[in-house]
Structures are given as structure tokens and as C-alpha cells.
A and B are shown apart, each in its own frame.
Chain A
């Protein structure tokens, strides 16, 4: 029997290893997505309020779910810090996913500015979860800056292209003691499962669900894939032969003995 297997982020315990995005789909689907994903953390963005808008996303998110505001829209550390402070002022906890992009074509994170913002926000008591390009030196700097996790990208945001950075994420899993949460680009449950088999602590997905045919059903598929990958990792994968074969059946006691 496996002992209790919790995901711990900044001292907070979670049973689910699936972090759900809330972008690009109907607010009305959020509750079903959270439920079928088994998610305990959901990401949000901070934007200018619309005077005409009556609906608020917070009305659609089940109360026991931890909110993870991101700093999307920030082009440098200073803007990310401003957005994080505004998110905290919205009164929904201390979690923040630092996301800083200068480039609007590939939406790649600016690792340097991300380290700076992480350091400032960690000192202000935030639980900082930086989205980053998977680079070991940067990951170490983020650890030193006070990050609660690191969130390396699998492939460009919204691309559904899967684990393009596989080898580099594996290095982070092997070398970094914080939870490594694979974020961005995971398009299929099988890719989420593979990342979990590699030892990722959790998966963050949004577009894979938002662009799926049946969002709650895909949320359930991801949940199962993530749970399967986690169990496989905890078990330890079976070995791979360099060459040849190894029978699974007994080689004795049959016709031509």
C-alpha cells in the first residue's frame, strides 16, 4: 500500500496533481471541469474590470478550490509584481504564478525577469510558482529566490505539442528539490502521463481542455492519466532491454522438454 501521497506547495497540501486553467472556455463549464478533473487548484488572470460585465468568474469556481492568479500580461518583473499585488488585494490568498513574456509570437517566458520577480514576491510572503523555460541554472536561481515550485514549459503555450523539452525537464526533476510542475503545451493525456512517469510533481493544462471536443470528459481523461503516471513513477518503471528479449512465460515444463 502506498502511503499518503500529497503534493506540497509552500506548506499547503493537495491530493490532486492536476492544476486546471480557466481560460478560453465558458464560465458555465468551470464547475464541471473542476469536478471531473478532480482539481484543487485553478489558475486565473487579472485584467481590467469591465463596467458592463455582470458575471464574475469567482461565482463559478467551487469554494474549496485554491486560486492561482497568474501575472500574464507582465512584460518585466516590475509589472509582474504589480499584478501579483493586485491579485492578492482581490482577496484570494497568496498564491501566484509568475508569468513574464516579452515575446508575443512564441509567448516564451523571460527567465531573467522571472527570477527578479520571484525574489521580490517571495520576500513579500507570496507562494511563488514561476513559469519558466527549463534551464537548470535558472531553476537553481529560482530556488534561491524563494520559489515554492518551478513550472517549466513542455512546449509553447497553447500549442498542444507535448513534451518538446522532455530531456531538460528530466534534468530539473532530477536536480531540483522543489515540485516540478509541467506547464504549457501539454496537449494530450498521454503526454501528461509521460511527464508524471518522469517524476513531475503535477501538470498544469488549459488549452488541451479548452480546445477538446468534450471539455469535462477530457478533464476526466487528464485526471486518470496524471494519476496513472504518478503511480508508475512511485512504483518505479520496469527496465528496458538494450537488445534481445526476455520471456514472460516459464521456459520449462512444456511440450518439448
Chain B
């Protein structure tokens, strides 16, 4: 299992790019952190999700 935004998902073995393609995220409007480290956009294709990884996918929202 890979924990993505707090939710355990069966994504181990897939690349980050593959996971993102399976969602409605706009890759230009998100940033991704894997185990506390930022994954640069250029590395989405080569980043293979490992069992136990903790992924955060964030974007901008309204705030003060």
C-alpha cells in the first residue's frame, strides 16, 4: 500500500506519473512530496512508488 493524501492505495510498483494519469489532477497545478521530499515534475516518470511510501499531492487554495 502507498499512502496518498492520507488514503492507502494499491499503487506500489507504479510510477508517480502513472498514478497521476489515473486521476484528474492537472500536473501543472500540483506539487508532490514523497516521504517528506519534493519530487520535481521532471522525475514523475522515473519515480516508482514503493510499499509504505507516504505521498502528498498539494495545490493552491484560497487563504489569508
Which residues of A are interface residues toward B (Cβ below 8 A)? 21-25, 27, 30, 43-49, 51-54, 56-58, 67, 69-70, 72, 82, 85-87, 89-92, 157-158, 184, 204, 206-207
Give chain B nearest CB distance to A73 CB in angstroms: 9
Given contacts A51-B23, A56-B26, A207-B64, contact A46 B59 (CB under 8 A): yes
Given contacts A49-B30, A56-B29, contact A44 B62 (CB under 8 A): yes
The CA-CA distance from A63 to B10 in the complex, in Å, is 39
Cβ of B36: which chain A residues have Cβ within 8 Å of it? 82
Q: Are B60 and A92 in contact (CB under 8 A)?
A: yes
From the candidates B5, B38, B59, B62, name the one contacting A23 in the complex (CB within 8 A): B62
Most buried by A among B28, B56, B62: B62
Cβ of A89: which chain B residues have Cβ within 8 Å of it? 31-32, 38, 40-41
The CA-CA distance from A70 to B58 in the complex, in Å, is 13
Query: Closest residue of chain A to B24, judged by CB?
Result: A51
B15-59: which residues lie under 8 A (CB-CB) from chain A? 23-26, 28-33, 36, 38, 40-41, 56-59
Cβ of A72: which chain B residues have Cβ within 8 Å of it? 63-64
The CA-CA distance from A21 to B63 in the complex, in Å, is 6
From the candidates A22, A58, A90, A91, name the one contacting B63 in the complex (CB within 8 A): A22
Cβ of A24: which chain B residues have Cβ within 8 Å of it? 62, 64
Given contacts A82-B33, A90-B29, A90-B31, contact A47 B24 (CB under 8 A): no
The CA-CA distance from A86 to B6 in the complex, in Å, is 17
Given contacts A86-B33, A90-B30, contact A48 B58 (CB under 8 A): yes
